[in-house]
Amino acid sequence: MLLLEGFKNVLSQPVTLLLILIGDVAGLIFGAIPGLSAFTALAIMLPLTFAMQPVMGISFLMSVYVGGVSGGFISAILLGIPGTPSSIATCFDGHELAKRGEAYRAMGVALLFSFIGGIFSAVIMSTLAPLIGQVALRFSPYEYTTVILLALTTVSALAEGSMVKGLLSCLLGVSLSFVGIDRLSAYTRYTFGYSSLRSGFAIVPLLIGLFAVSQVLTNASKRNSTTIEEAEHQIVAQKKMRGFGISIKEFFSALKTSIPASIIGLVVGILPGIGGNIANLMAYTFAKKTSKTPEEFGHGTIHGIVAPESANNASVGGALIILLTLGIPGDNATSMIMAGFQIHGIAPGPLLFSSGNTLVYAIFAAFIIANIIMLVSAYFGLPLFSKILSLRTEILLPIVIAFCFVGSFSSNNRVFEIGVMVAFGILGFIMKRYKYPLAPMVVGFILAPMLEENLRRSLMRSKGSFEPFVTSPIAVTFLVITVAVLLFTVYSEFKKKD
């Protein structure tokens, strides 16, 4: 009933709906541009809300957040470049579909299941938030270590083709993550006396280089040998479609993939610091491993889009639960949301629900409405987005590269980041040419520092003993699942060989 009150609060002024629409669209655009993310969008839009009434300001911020997390699929599908880290897995099948002329369908599916993931987490959030907050508190470094170990096993599903190449790629990511000041003891590693390297490689320029720049380089090297007339022919004719591009039957079969993916997204989103970046990859892996037709993954199956897109939007709800119930921001984007809430007189934390502040329910309502408006507005945008693919590559790619430079620089206001992007672009180009998959490298790069940090923290606490890993029920559960996944992977690899 309080939720209805929240809806009344948000809907009482039509201007709020307009603001949500603007926020959604702005967020989508930021999310779609490689290097700019929900965080960048929020950082820029936050000051705009100062003059707004609390309900309007909050609704606007929520819509920017929802749009920003969703927008990543657009560039992932159209260009094979993840707009944000949380849409890496969307590239695998999304871009394959686009190459077959089914970009519209791929985007329709991505949009629809972003919406479903978002609504799923919204429902859980508005009913179970305080309870879930308490469970999250049970996670100490021991439990974190084991969750991250489990997440690392996703690599096995991302190793397209050769498992050895996949693992090598992952290890390269792990090694690169060690560059810079060690997060625990501030010891400088692998900087070779070069002081700019002390900050290590940042994820945003690394990702843009690896996926976007390498893609542009690959296209450019192909184009070199063709004439303009031939190039005109290379543009894939996009099939005309209506609705979301899938039948009712396909929808229900996709829903079966979407539900576990949303749960994974929600759970991973709840854990501060892990979030959407990993959720989309874990959900993709889960969908592939449990699929009856795993061989279709990576070659353009809609399930390969459904899983990551449901998961990354569900992780938003997870992150918001922790923010609202415990007052703890899990990542950059949520810390911006928290700043926004505080400006509008909402102090996220344990007292939020008991203080009788009805604005909490306005947040829930705004989150749900933002998801609905996102669905509708992006739906009308679909034909427009697919038009991008009819642009000739020599017009499209320079634009993409320009955005890459802007995105890399603005990620940390440093020219050095542009250099990092170019270097990883070349590395990505070489890796692609020799058929080393790129995603395992990103997984290694993101997870290795987290694993190191939590493992060292655990051992510092237990004075070097590994015992707590097997005495904590939560940790032991994750360990068992990790071992099971490993054994299963090894088994199926051997079976493939026979």
Residues that bind another protein (CB under 8 A): 43, 136-140, 180-181, 184-188, 195-196, 198-200, 202, 272, 326-329, 332, 335-336, 338-339, 347, 349-352, 412-414, 453, 456-457, 460-461
For residue 203, the surrounding DSSP H or E stretch is: helix 203-207
**Dist. CA 248–CA 245, nearest whole Å:** 10
The token pair at 71 is: 């927008």
> To the nearest whole angstrom, how small is the minimum distance from the Cβ of residue 465 to another protein?
14
**Dist. CA 97–CA 375, nearest whole Å:** 21
Contact call for residues 372 and 20 (beta carbons, < 8 A): no
> To the nearest whole angstrom, how small is the minimum distance from the Cβ of residue 13 to another protein?
27
Nearer to another protein, 140 or 489 (CB): 140
> To the nearest whole angstrom, how small is the minimum distance from the Cβ of residue 443 to another protein?
22
For residue 189, the surrounding DSSP H or E stretch is: strand 188-189
> To the nearest whole angstrom, how small is the minimum distance from the Cβ of residue 185 to another protein?
5
Nearer to another protein, 97 or 420 (CB): 420
| Phi, psi values for residue 356, rounded to 5° | 75, 15
Nearer to another protein, 93 or 453 (CB): 453
**Dist. CA 257–CA 290, nearest whole Å:** 9
> To the nearest whole angstrom, how small is the minimum distance from the Cβ of residue 272 to another protein?
7
> To the nearest whole angstrom, how small is the minimum distance from the Cβ of residue 186 to another protein?
4
Contact call for residues 21 and 64 (beta carbons, < 8 A): no
Nearer to another protein, 387 or 461 (CB): 461
Nearer to another protein, 185 or 225 (CB): 185
Nearer to another protein, 14 or 464 (CB): 464
Contact call for residues 371 and 15 (beta carbons, < 8 A): no
Distances (CA, A) of 122 to 263, 312, 361, 370: 12, 13, 11, 11
Contact call for residues 409 and 418 (beta carbons, < 8 A): yes
Nearer to another protein, 289 or 456 (CB): 456
Q: What's the angle, vertex CA 421, arms to CA 282 and CA 305, rounded to 5?
A: 30
**Dist. CA 6–CA 359, nearest whole Å:** 7
DSSP state of 196: G
> To the nearest whole angstrom, how small is the minimum distance from the Cβ of residue 476 to another protein?
17
Nearer to another protein, 311 or 475 (CB): 475
Distances (CA, A) of 293 to 163, 199, 287: 19, 43, 10
> To the nearest whole angstrom, how small is the minimum distance from the Cβ of residue 273 to another protein?
8
